[in-house]
Chain A
Amino acid sequence: MKRIIFSLLVGILFLILQTTLLPSFPIHRIRPDILLIFTLYLAFLFPPIFGGILAFLMGTLMDLFSGNALGFYTFSRPLVFFAAQFFKERFYLEGFYSQFLFAFVSAILEGILILILMNALQSLSLGNLYPLLFTFLLPQSFFTGLATPPLFFIFQKGSSLLFPQPEKGMKERV
């Protein structure tokens, strides 16, 4: 329980950083989605049910502070979490490249899902939206991928320091 509450607080902290610190960078496209990275890490730290609920809450928080009124992230974040749960034991996710690729692909797929939802539920034409794939989605996914290995390392260190008997780490699980 302590771990769940702590993870939720860390999630709120990342949300605050994402809405305040990251937009203050001079280049807006260099803006990794640290909440997505954290959601991916939750897949290694929690069993599906608790982790799923946490991912759901992370998505709700994202929706709350974004201009998206319908709540796309409340739907997409648990999906990303379950996908990460499914793939974590099927791929080697220890090295820099594999972690980069894992986050990069997750960010791209989530972006495409959001694009589809925007097109389907908000009647926004794909013709108007597809330039965003290159101007936003690719750079942001790339930087999300780049930020993943160092952040995963920090999360691992942090969780092993904070909790005396941490869950099995990534190495033991793979």
Chain B
Amino acid sequence: MGIRDFFLFRRYSLLIFIVLLLLFALVLMSLRAKQREGVEFFDALLMEICSPFQKAATLVIKTVQGTFTQYVYMVNLGKENRMLKQKIAELQEENHRMKEMKLANERLSQLLQFREKNSPSMIGAEVIGQDPSSWFKSVTINKGERDGVKKGMAVISPAGVIGQILKTAPHYATVLLLTDYNSAVDSIVQRTRAKTIVEGKGENRCQLKYLRRAEEVAVGDVVVTSGLGGNFPKGLMVGEIKKVDKKGHGVFQYAELVPSVDLTQLEEVFVIIEPLPSSQPQEEKVEKGKKTRK
């Protein structure tokens, strides 16, 4: 390399750096699309480092929120009866704690009953974080590869389908929610048995794709999983149809669905680590219910 070339390199070094960095990001994107192991290992490693802090932060926030909701309405009380109010506050706090415990108990009993009724091959997990971006819909759970969680596994709750596992780390995993644009679940309309694919549409809404125009579906119809995707057992509640539109042209009609689970308030979930007996055999596993990735 001549002196002139060296100075030219120095002059454009910043530009070269920027281009290289952006190219590296694009290469990473391509490697992720091909699901290369090296990138997945790197992602899992970073996730393992950050998730314990996330778990701790969730715990702190839940505690602070509980206390805050309890006391926030009491800030402007006068000085009179301070002692009495202090006593009330203490009792209320105790009551609040007991109510929270009662609610948690009810919720967990319901989960336990659901688990016993359906299959022993499910594991319970706690939601420890939400998606940092508004574009995508996912949550982080505190169970990972060491607990038997694998990519593509179904995540459900007693109320219905939640989503499927997108990324895994040894002790944590990311769940792609039903409402994400990249989510697709093979389903049927319970009343008419019409086949469809439930695709995410952001903001707690989904769209029914490939629903034939000839099918008589109506607002209020319940949509359940078909079991054809291989990951979800047959007959799990997905949601309720909220809008049907046959005005357009074409073979299919347009319908919107609201998931049966409130995906913005998730606390505990179940991961199906083995297909249930009611689901279709492994040979029937098709990629129909998935789009670009598992």
Contacts and interface: CB of A to CB of B under 8 A. Distances in A.
A165 interface: no
User: Which of B65, B177, B181 has the most CB atoms of chain A within a 10 A radius of its CB?
Assistant: B181
Interface residues of B, number: 50
B182 interface: yes
B101 interface: no
A20 B129 contact: yes
Interface in B1-53: 14, 17-18, 21-22, 24-26, 28-29, 32-33, 43, 46-47, 50, 53
Interface in A26-62: 28-29, 31, 33, 35, 48-49, 52-53, 56, 59-62
Interface in B181-215: 181-182, 201-203, 207
A20 B54 contact: yes
A16 B50 contact: yes
Interface stretch (B111-119, B135-143, B280-288): B135-143
Given A12-B50, A24-B61, A121-B29, A56 B134 contact: no
Interface string B131-167: 1111111101000000000000000000000000011
Contacts of B128: 20
Contacts of B21: 52-53, 56, 78
Contacts of B18: 48, 52, 78, 82
B92 interface: no
Nearest to A124: B181
A67 B137 contact: yes
A71 B46 contact: no
Contact of B28 (A12, A65, A71, A79): A71
Interface string A94-127: 0000000000000000010010001001111000
Among A20, A31, A121, the one with the most B-chain Cβ atoms within 10 Å of its Cβ is: A20
Contacts of A49: 14, 17
Contacts of A82: 18
A21 B46 contact: no
A23 interface: yes
A135 B174 contact: no
Contact of A15 (B50, B174, B176, B207): B50
Interface residues of A, number: 55
A129 B292 CA distance: 16
Given A61-B46, A74-B25, A74-B28, A18 B132 contact: yes
Contacts of B136: 66-68
A122 B57 contact: no
A116 to B, nearest CB: 12
B29 A64 contact: no
Contacts of B58: 20
B17 A67 contact: no
B133 A73 contact: yes
A5 interface: no
Residue in A18, A56, A70 whose Cβ sees the most chain B Cβ within 10 Å: A70
Contacts of A155: none
B260 interface: no
A152 interface: no
Given A52-B21, A75-B26, A23 B130 contact: yes
Nearest to B31: A71
A67 B139 CA distance: 8
Given A19-B132, A35-B132, A78-B25, A70 B57 contact: no
A75 B29 contact: yes
B43 A31 contact: no
A73 B26 CA distance: 11
A59 B26 CA distance: 13
B291 interface: yes
A128 B57 contact: no
A174 interface: no
Interface of B: 14, 17-18, 21-22, 24-26, 28-29, 32-33, 43, 46-47, 50, 53-54, 57-58, 61, 65, 128-138, 140, 166-167, 174, 176-177, 180-182, 201-203, 207, 264, 291-293
10 tightest A-B CB contacts, nearest first: A67-B138, A67-B136, A23-B130, A19-B129, A75-B25, A20-B57, A18-B132, A74-B25, A136-B134, A66-B136
